Amino acid sequence: MGTAFDTITFKASSCDGCGKCMTACAEAKQGAARISIVPGTKESSFELAMCRQCGDPKCVMVCPAGALAKDDGSGVVQWDASRCIDCLLCTAGCSYGGISLDSHTARVSKCDQCDGDPACVKACPTDALQWVTAGSVFNKYGDKEDMFVPGLSGCQGCNSELIMRHAMRKIGRNSVLATPPGCIPGMGSVGYNGKTGTKVPVFHPLLTNTASMLAGIRRYYDRVGRKDIVVMALAGDGGTSDCGFHAVSGAAERGEKVLYVCVDNEGYMNTGMQRSSTTPFGSWTSTTPVGEHMRGKSQDAKNLPLIMVAHKCAYVATASTGYMEDLYDKLDKAVEASFRGFSYLHIYSPCPTGWRIPSSKVIEACRMSVDSNFVTLWEYTREGGLRFTRSPDRPIPVRDYVKMIGKYRHLDDAQLDHIQSRVDEQVTLLKRMAAAPAAEPAVI
Amino acid sequence: MEAKYLIIGSSHAALEALRAIRQVDAEGSMAMLTRDVHLPYSPTILPYVVSGRSPAERVILRDEAFFTASKCTFVGNTTAVGLDATAKTVTLADGGSWRYDKLLIATGAAPAIPPVPGLDGVSYHVLRSLDDAQGLRKAMGTARRAVVLGAGLVGLHAAENLAEAGLAVSVVEMRSHVLPGYFDAKASTRIEAAFTEHGVTLFLGRTVVGIDGGKGQACTVRLDGGEALETDLLLVAAGVKPVVDWLAGSGVAIDRGVLVNDTMRTNQPDVWAAGDVAQARDFHSGEQALIGIIPTAVEQGRLAGMGMAGDSYVKPYAGGLPVNTYRFFGRVALSIGQAAAEGGGEVAEHEGPGYRRVVLADGRLVGYASVDEPFDVGIMGELIRRRVDLSGCKQDFLDRPLETGRRLMSEGWR
Ligand SMILES: Cc1cc2nc3c(=O)[nH]c(=O)nc-3n(C[C@H](O)[C@H](O)[C@H](O)COP(=O)(O)OP(=O)(O)OC[C@H]3O[C@@H](n4cnc5c(N)ncnc54)[C@H](O)[C@@H]3O)c2cc1C
Ligand code: SF4
């Protein structure tokens, strides 16, 4: 596995130019700020000049003193003050103003990410600057044993494989996995010709009985004293919210100790892109076509994770592959909770084929869905109630997100307004729930 | 001996080629030959070896472990004296030879020695190798007076070293200003004033008519105005010339340097050249020119290495841009592109505590220089290379070049 690095990210659309990052940097480094926010072309827009810790750093290549080097561990381009001869050639190598002359010291200075705790990020009041630790997450799990066969046949750009491989790397061999009908078994995880596609016991239940079967397996393991086995499903939204819902609801109500992961791609994509109850309003699917009479789906999506909250599960959370560190954090908690009761993790995962988006835009779609509140990221426990883990302070209009997705191309203004109002409604409700004090722990 | 990849020279161009080759071909046998006795170092660091700021053992850019890990045989103290491009063989001064599949000529440049009457009869210093630097440092310890011939980068760096060490220094330059080509007269004048303030005597627009020998290292340098400069130490820094003598009779096409196309190939099959030795496309004129600086050596070395290893991502060379980042007595002078150009373009000069000179042509940046007013050299270089149209933000750019440049690059990146 290659090495990935943690990084500071900048979202220009959230920056209001307050300059607190620069002050914080200058203070932390006792010199000139190594981050520079400059006015953008448009009114009250802002741009950033800062070291990008390039993978192929030109500053390093041109340094005649060997004073710059990319650190293999952190990915930071490190500057060695004792070797530097102050020739400034590195400033000619950098295209981003990432290393420049500090007039206080008359030497070059550049961002060193404050050893993994950047002062600028902490000072940013709008979250325009963020410290993204997905790199460490990938390194940690990239080194672990992969539990699937190589060459799963997912569509190009689909995140399901990412979710599957990384979730199972984390959970490891002590697990039993159910993959009910859908894309996940469809791409080869169940196996072919009598061989499984995984290194852990895997089975292919019916759409309707996944949660019931898992409940039985867990009870058996409990009986024989194997309390260390994670009993889990990697299921689709159709099998979870429609045909398998009674089994999921029943297992949750009984408090079965099961980890249920729903990978939500908003429809039955594997069988030809039919609508499911989680398909959003207005979406084109093969059963909600766009023509003279129909303009895509005419009902709103069912909010399944919220329904699971109403079951008072041990843990309920939503996640998105756009924010892997958030996803990983929740996966940890979900696994732990599955030894105490029903644990439900709902992961939003765009379908490039069925949604009609280029494979290169999938992660961007994930991010925009969160930035517009179309997808909300939160977690729920009986003890702590509902808590947002990542919510935009200034959400972008839902239109901006919807615009990039082919299945919404036909939407008219009224439909777009409808989606926006539903998103707003949903967020208001969630915010009320988040603000309310946590419920008394249920006495079982 | 033989190697799939044979690299002659061990400096910037050579090291970048090694890196580019190993990115594509982790195993192919490789050897790097250099006439230097030391592990790789940069000539640019030598003034700091002279001053004592950089101890010689700390200027090494790659150690033995690096060459072992890179599966490259490093052979020092070995001078190439001939090339047979048909037999694909390089012959060495010690009588040995190396056969290659792909050859990189990265022998850089060496000091040019002007035909001054009497120069061959006296002992003088040059500054290109680590041994030169250590020799100069030693000589500097006992001398009281020094004369430097040439006010280019090397001459000025050395003059500063010598002056800071307490010597009485004179610099003789044929042209009317220091660092010609990089800076216009106004910028150069500021730099010259700093030297004068630090006690260095500048003889600009003057030629040496003869040199008379004296006792030991001492000699007398006679100028066209009749002055006779007595000195204990003479440094010749009158420019450099590509090291191509060893290629005589090889069939490799040479003008002033080795002529290369936009992928750094010479006219001979499987022979590439890069760095100070190569005469490659000049960004501004499109002609093949010598631009002896690290950024071009690095870029050309990378392209040559990619070509040698058959890397399919190799993109043609856009052409070299002159770049100069110069520190003098703690101050800063910077220059990129056609910054000293007179006529043709539109020139905007700004004089305050610092000085800057922006040259535009067709609403696009072609050159930028400053003294005592730092700017992001790399960003300006990118604006020049990408021929970014500045007509929409010209006033912003002229008023606040630093901010506007940063903004343009940040926007262009997304
Ligand atoms: C004092 C000084 C200051 C400088 N300051 C700057 C600066 O501020 N900015 C800047 O950009 N540039 C500067 N330069 C120029 C810069 O150092 C060169 O452009 C750069 O070193 C070129 O690299 P190169 O790999 O082409 O060749 P070189 O560095 O010239 O190296 C040539 C290599 O070839 C080897 N070699 C030569 N002939 C043979 C042979 N026949 N057989 C075997 N090996 C051979 C040499 O040993 C050496 O390893 C400065 C140079 C000097 C001397
Ligand atoms: S200023 Fe220092 S770090 Fe930058 S290139 Fe010169 S020696 Fe290297």
Cα(A63) to ligand 2 centroid in Å equals 5
pLDDT of residue B166: 96
Pocket lining: A18 vs ligand 2, CB cutoff 6 Å = no
Query: What are the C-alpha distances in Å from A22 to residues A19, A39, A121, B390?
Result: 5, 14, 10, 27
**pLDDT tens digits, one per residue of B146-191:** 999 999 999 999 999 999 999 999 999 999 999 988 999 999 999 9
Q: How far is B378 from chain A (nearest CA, A)?
A: 4
| Parallel/antiparallel/unpaired status of strands A377-381 and A175-178 | unpaired
In contact, A217 and A255? CB cutoff 8 Å: no
With 50 as the cut, is the pLDDT of residue A1 above it?
no
Q: How many CA atoms lie within 13 A of B265 on its CB side?
A: 14
**pLDDT tens digits, one per residue of A194-223:** 889 999 999 999 999 999 999 999 999 999
What is the number of the ligand 1 atom nearest to the C-alpha of B78?
43
Q: Is residue B315 part of a domain?
A: no
Q: Is residue B33 part of a domain?
A: yes
At CA A366, angle to CA A360 and CA A370, rounded to 5? 150
Same domain, B81 and B9: yes
**pLDDT tens digits, one per residue of B300-331:** 999 999 999 999 999 999 999 999 999 999 99
The CATH 3.40.50.970 portion of chain A extends over 144-435
**How many CB atoms sit inside 10 A of residue B222's CB?**
18
Pocket lining: A94 vs ligand 2, CB cutoff 6 Å = no
With 50 as the cut, is the pLDDT of residue B253 above it?
yes
Q: What are the E-state strand segments in A352-423?
A: 377-381, 385-390
Q: Is residue B321 part of a domain?
A: no
Same domain, B130 and B43: no
Chain B within 8 Å of A39 (Cβ-Cβ)?
yes
Q: How far is B377 from chain A (nearest CA, A)?
A: 5
Q: Is residue B362 part of a domain?
A: yes
Q: Which domain holds residue B131?
A: 119-236
**pLDDT tens digits, one per residue of B257-283:** 999 999 999 999 999 999 999 999 999
Give the ranges where B262-367 is alpha helix by DSSP (H). 294-309
**pLDDT tens digits, one per residue of A339-350:** 999 999 999 999
Q: Which residues does B61 contact at the CB level (< 8 Å), separation at least 6?
A: A64, A66, B15, B39, B40, B41, B42
Chain B within 8 Å of A83 (Cβ-Cβ)?
yes
In contact, A253 and A311? CB cutoff 8 Å: yes
Q: Which residue has the higher pLDDT, A439 or A213?
A: A213
Same domain, B104 and B247: yes
Cα(A62) to ligand 2 centroid in Å equals 8
Across B89-115, average pLDDT: 98
The CATH 3.30.70.20 portion of chain A extends over 7-137
How far, rounded to the nearest angstrom, does the alpha carbon of residue B323 sit from its chain's CA centroid? Answer: 10
Same domain, B246 and B213: no
**How many CB atoms sit inside 10 A of residue B114's CB?**
14
Give residue A442's pLDDT band: very low, low, confident or very high (50, 70, 90).
low
Q: Is residue B384 part of a domain?
A: yes
Same domain, B386 and B297: no
- Through-space distance between the first and last CA atoms of chain B, rounded to whole angstroms: 50
Q: Do A92 and B332 touch (CB under 8 A)?
A: no
> Using CA atoms, how far apart are residues B188 and B175, in angstroms rounded to an integer?
12
The domain total for chain B is 3
Give φ, ψ of B298 to 5 degrees: -65, -50
Q: Do A95 and B16 touch (CB under 8 A)?
A: no
Across A91-111, average pLDDT: 95
Q: What is the CATH number of the domain that holds B169?
A: 3.50.50.60
Tell me whether 0.85 is exceeded by the ipTM.
Answer: yes
Same domain, B137 and B82: no
Q: Is residue A425 within a helix (H) or strand (E), and if so which, with residue range?
A: helix A413-435
**pLDDT tens digits, one per residue of A257-303:** 999 999 999 999 999 999 999 999 999 999 999 999 999 999 999 99
Give residue B414's pLDDT band: very low, low, confident or very high (50, 70, 90).
low
pLDDT of residue B243: 98
Q: Whose CA is nearest to atom 6 of ligand 2?
A: A87
Give residue B342's pLDDT band: very low, low, confident or very high (50, 70, 90).
confident
CATH (residue range A144-435): 3.40.50.970
With 90 as the cut, is the pLDDT of residue A392 above it?
no
Q: Which residues does A168 contact at the CB level (< 8 Å), separation at least 6?
A: A146, A147, A148, A175, A177, A198, A200
Q: Do B403 and A38 touch (CB under 8 A)?
A: yes
How far, rounded to the nearest angstrom, does the alpha carbon of residue B391 sit from its chain's CA centroid? Answer: 34
Q: Do A62 and B298 touch (CB under 8 A)?
A: yes
* Residue to substitute in A88, A102, A109 for testing ligand 2 pocket (most ligand atoms within 8 angstroms of CB): A88
Across B22-35, average pLDDT: 97
Q: Which residues does A398 contact at the CB level (< 8 Å), separation at least 6?
A: A372, A373, A374, A416, A419, A420, A423
**pLDDT tens digits, one per residue of A150-172:** 889 999 999 999 999 999 999 99
Q: What are the E-state strand segments in B27-144?
A: 30-33, 72-75, 80-84, 89-92, 97-105, 109-111
Q: Which residues does B400 contact at the CB level (< 8 Å), separation at least 6?
A: none
pLDDT of residue A104: 87
At CA B234, angle to CA B229 and CA B240, rounded to 5? 120
Q: Is residue B388 part of a domain?
A: yes
pLDDT of residue B299: 98
Query: What are the C-alpha distances in Å from A165 to residues A56, A250, A362, B70?
Result: 29, 28, 18, 33
> Using CA atoms, how far apart are residues A113 and A34, in angstroms rounded to an integer?
10
Q: Is residue B94 part of a domain?
A: yes
Q: Whose CA is nearest to atom 9 of ligand 1?
A: B293
Domain endpoint, select from B236, B264, B280: B236
Interface test with A, best of B406, B408, B411, B414 (most A CBs within 10 A): B406
Fold that domain A7-137 belongs to in CATH: Alpha-Beta Plaits (3.30.70)
* Residue to substitute in A63, A76, A79 for testing ligand 2 pocket (most ligand atoms within 8 angstroms of CB): A63
